[in-house]
Amino acid sequence: MLTRFQKKKFTRQFHRFCANGNKVLAWDDFELLLERLRESRGWNEDSPQLAQAGKSFRAVWEAFRNHSDRNWDGAITLKEWLAFHKTALYDAQLLSTQNPAYRDLVNGMTRYVQSSLDNDGDGEITADEYDAFCRAHGIEAEEARTCFQTMDRNGDQRLTKTEVYDLILEYYCTDDPNAAGNLFFGMLN
């Protein structure tokens, strides 16, 4: 069973991904997020960064659809979204291991985030790169700075691929409202 905090967190994420505001998550939401990211990054339509981000966005959408779209209508409702998270977390606790669906989600989300964030391809995420990612998801600059500072646990002003993976895993798996990973997709209040 999802806790009240987990419901709040996953509901907020659902609405951040539902870019067109129609209250169902579908591929066109990811296309809109990709376009926002392209604009915030200043990428050309034929840039290799956009192509890579597009592949990652497609992979994340397919993972979401495959694990969440229970009626296979090509759209995910909030109810389906929360049911997926409930099942994945419950199974993981029951089996004392990471649920394969969640492992797929975390790995896919890490690739999605890396392709969205790492503008210069150096394998590290700066506050400016995180800010551009946040703008594409409707998160204001001040909120993005606050989130980044909290997630940058060692204070070196960057996040490595390993740190990003750990933060995303923490986001999906923790029920601790004070965990830094909960800020990855913006503040919850």
Q: How far apart are the first and last CA of the chain?
A: 22
Contact 114, 59 (CB under 8 A): no
| DSSP structure string for 58-88 | HHHHHHHHHHH-TT-SS-EEHHHHHHHHHHH
Q: Could you tell me which residues are beta bridge partners of residue 25?
A: 76
Cα–Cα distance between 25 and 64 in angstroms, integer? 9
Cα–Cα distance between 143 and 116 in angstroms, integer? 18
Specify the pLDDT at position 149: 97
Residue 188 has pLDDT above 90, yes or no: no
Q: What is the pLDDT of residues 69-122, one digit of tens each?
A: 999 999 999 999 999 888 877 665 544 455 666 677 777 777 777 777 888 888
Q: Which two tokens mark 10?
A: 């996953």
Contact 132, 33 (CB under 8 A): no
pTM confidence score: 0.82
Q: For the domain 4-183, what is the CATH code?
A: 1.10.238.10
| DSSP structure string for 83-110 | HHHHHHHHHHHHHTS--HHHHHHHHHHH
Cα–Cα distance between 133 and 130 in angstroms, integer? 5
Q: Which run of H or of E encompasses 160?
A: strand 158-160
- Once rounded to an integer, what is the mean pLDDT over residues 32-53? 91
State residue 2 phi and psi, 5-degree precision. -75, 140
Specify the pLDDT at position 102: 67
Comparing C-alpha atoms, which of 14, 9, 17, 46 is closest to residue 136? Answer: 17
Q: Domain-by-domain residue ranges, the chain?
A: 4-183
Residue 27 has pLDDT above 90, yes or no: yes
Specify the pLDDT at position 101: 65
On average, the pLDDT of the chain sits at 88
